[in-house]
Chain A
Amino acid sequence: MKIVCLVKEVPDSEAKITVENGKIKETGVKFIVNPYDEYGIEEALKIKEAGGEHQVFILTFGTERAKKVMESAMALGADEGFLVADGSAPDCDSHTTAKVLAAALNKIGFDMIFCGKQAIDDDSSQVGVRVAEMLSLGHASVVNKFELTDGKVKVERQIQGGQEVIEMPVPCVITCQKGLNDPRYPSLKNIMAVKKKPRTVFTLDDIGLSADDVGVNGSFVEVTKFEPPLEKAPGRVIEGEPEDTAKELIRSLREEAKVI
């Protein structure tokens, strides 16, 4: 089985993000594999390690820089890596990103697709599901339990008041939630082994797309600017007798905070 794990390059969760002229300043920021995608990679590796003829592929879409993140993802133990490299990647919305990934998936082939339930940078939570729709595949999102038996997957996802159980045939797309498994750490051996494994960089042309399909041209959504979150104002303790403090609280909420 060809198991493909979709991976996104995101800023290090420990990085300090600053905004300059409506754009995120990237100097000094390191980039990592989207942590939710690691659950997908772990699940794929578990299938492979359980035995059988399986291969685990990493697929990512980004600028040339994303090659490093593709390699970091491969260091967890994947067999092969693919990067669709194009300068337009940062301007692509979820629809366009899914279009690129779907085209690349058609090119490399697949029997099963995993990805994170969302990326920790834009939190759009759409790409996995859109890829499935574009490829006419079944999908389940925010999955926290996964089983594969005889070409059939059985997954569970948390819903209000309980667990939803879904069964479907492969190939399908699973978007992974925390709790699905314990993503492993890369060993130094696997980090070094990446350089000896096949790594392919596709251009848009290689996967049958053109500049018109991607970036601002191909997207429905355009990000016009970024703003850092407002600094939280310090809290205030209202002291006094309960009768007075309650009145003061209502007054401040109404007149100062303007929330009631």
Chain B
Amino acid sequence: MNLIKPDFTYCSDIKLIKRIEGSSRILEEFPDYLVDESRLSGNSVETIFFPETTSDVSAIMRDMHKRGLRGCVSGARTGVVGGAVAMNVDCVISLSGMNEILGFDNKSICAQCGVTLDELDKHISDNIPGMFYPVDPTETTSSIGGNVASNASGARTYYYGPTRNWVNAITVVLADGSVLDLKRGDVVADGRRFRIELPGQPETTFEFPNHKYPKVKNTAGFILAENMDAIDLFVGSEGILGIITKVDLRLIKKPSNRLYTVIWAESEKQSVDLVKAIRSSHILNMLAIEYFSPEAIAVLKQRRMYEGSSSTVAKIPYDAIAAIFIDCVYKDDSELSDISAELEIILHAQKRSLDNTWSGMNDSDLKRMKQLRHALPETINMIITERKKDNPNIHKLSTDFAVPDGMLETMLETYHKKLDKSGIEYVIFGHIGDNHLHVNMLPKTEKELLLAHELYVELAKDAVRLGGTIAAEHGIGRFKRHLMPIQYPPEMLDAMLELKNIFDPAGLLNPGVMLPD
């Protein structure tokens, strides 16, 4: 079946829904609800709603629809592209109170959208022994609704894929307040065509062009594919088609034996060669491959030197210039021996040895290694905070581009060539296994800041030219929609806009998010 047909099954009394009213009071007492981690500044709003159920959200949207009010959909506000910033809206719909686990069995869990990843993990480990939800975005205080709406990913996406792969079912409240329950497999496109019947409206058809998406993880816009599931219109839709209120997620068996290893490399080239060898090995079963560039290692060494042995940054070997972190699964001791032997061969080919590694098998080992990774953005933010003292406009710019296999080295070369020429300080790190590296630009002056913004667009074009994406995991939000035409031809952008107009013709949900004007 290819018919998407929401209805008005349940709806609360709008008067009974918790809220805070008054734009000056909100600005004064609840400014946090107007912004997210992007640090974009928002405007105040007349009302912040705190729904507790799908019926509440339905009532809110019905009321807003009647009055033509625009709303900002707000989860845990951990996004970095301004998706939850109250900008040009009349109210904020905060889903933070929708934090109940609704049910579970031994292979799935159903939760309200406001449940955080931490709460989800805790519930699973307390109640469903041996199972886990494998997607691991860095921000564990993010809400699961936000994760689904932004198709979030993490280090382990290398192995398990992004959030999309783990969504069994969702409940969505649309702009008119109608409710749509979607189970994976129930509504599937007929080729590139969906039929949509909104309550009280004639049936419409949504047909989309054939488009070759980059062969990388990608959160730029809608992913419209032949015979796609209707769920996937909403996963990654950044709240512009509807409000996801309930999600049902697939769980899998937690791998019991894990080997965590940091490999210290002598150069970037060596790191890339190591990654290539690791990826093509049939013996190594990697959940994640992460990278620390020479600039990143230098920043960490500097902080360690400055803070001494009380630093949260471990003492990095003096001959380490760059590093790779790998998270590997093994069945038993014999498989562990095979992994070690394979890594030895791979390292030997690069004139390195197993001596140039840190390894561990326990959660506390992982925590120690993760500290290195966490210390990096932390240190970068410290540097920027220092610079802000001289010029409050200064901020870092973080890229989120990914390129297809085989293009990693070209992209790295481009980064270095253009960034070195600009003179702007930068640090590169991230998900090298997915050819997805974050470049953090750290401008010192207003002039450099301007240049960094220009360079950002230029590098986005380079990534797309190499067959990559402008937004591998952070999404588009309000921050990057000007980059969308770089990645998509006009007919694709038109199709995305048409989809938005079918579900939300008045533009009430998250105006200014994802789609360019």
Between A and B, 16 residue pairs with Cβ closer than 8 Å are: A12-B362, A13-B364, A14-B364, A15-B363, A16-B125, A28-B129, A32-B362, A32-B364, A179-B310, A182-B315, A185-B359, A185-B360, A188-B261, A188-B354, A192-B340, A192-B354
B309, closest chain A residue (CB):
A182
| Interface set, chain B 276-328, CB cutoff 8 A to A | 309-310, 314-315
0 or 1 for each of A182-195: is its CB under 8 Å from B? (1 = yes): 10011111011001
Q: Are B314 and A185 in contact (CB under 8 A)?
A: yes
CA distance A61 to B314 in the complex (A): 30
**Taking the complex as formed, is A30 at the interface, i.e. its CB lies under 8 A from any CB of chain B?**
yes
Chain B residues near A185: list those with CB within 8 A: 262, 314, 358-360, 365, 368
CA distance A73 to B394 in the complex (A): 47
Q: Are A186 and B353 in contact (CB under 8 A)?
A: no
Chain B residues near A192: list those with CB within 8 A: 336-337, 340, 354
Chain A residues near B366: list those with CB within 8 A: 14
B283 to chain A, nearest CB (A): 14
Chain A residues near B310: list those with CB within 8 A: 179
Interface centre among A12, A182, A192, A195 (most CB of B within 10 A): A192
Instruction: Report B's interface with A, CB cutoff 8 A.
Output: 125, 129, 259, 261-262, 309-310, 314-315, 333, 336-337, 340, 343-344, 353-360, 362-368
Chain B residues near A32: list those with CB within 8 A: 362, 364
B378 to chain A, nearest CB (A): 20
Instruction: Report A's interface with B, CB cutoff 8 A.
Output: 12-16, 28, 30, 32, 179, 182, 185-189, 191-192, 195
B268 to chain A, nearest CB (A): 22
B359: which of A13, A16, A28, A186 is its contact (CB, 8 Å)? Answer: A186
Chain B residues near A12: list those with CB within 8 A: 362-364
A156 to chain B, nearest CB (A): 15
Q: Are A188 and B340 in contact (CB under 8 A)?
A: yes
Q: Are A14 and B367 in contact (CB under 8 A)?
A: yes
Per CB-CB distance, the 4 closest pairs between chain A and chain B, nearest first, are A189-B354, A185-B358, A14-B363, A188-B359
Chain A residues near B362: list those with CB within 8 A: 12, 14, 30, 32
B357 to chain A, nearest CB (A): 5
A189: which of B262, B315, B355 is its contact (CB, 8 Å)? Answer: B355
B130, closest chain A residue (CB):
A28
CA distance A32 to B340 in the complex (A): 21
Supplied contacts A12-B363, A28-B125, A32-B364, 5 more A-B pairs, CB within 8 Å: A182-B315, A185-B358, A186-B360, A187-B356, A191-B340
Chain B residues near A186: list those with CB within 8 A: 358-360
Chain B residues near A13: list those with CB within 8 A: 364
A177 to chain B, nearest CB (A): 12
B126, closest chain A residue (CB):
A16
Interface centre among A13, A32, A179, A191 (most CB of B within 10 A): A191
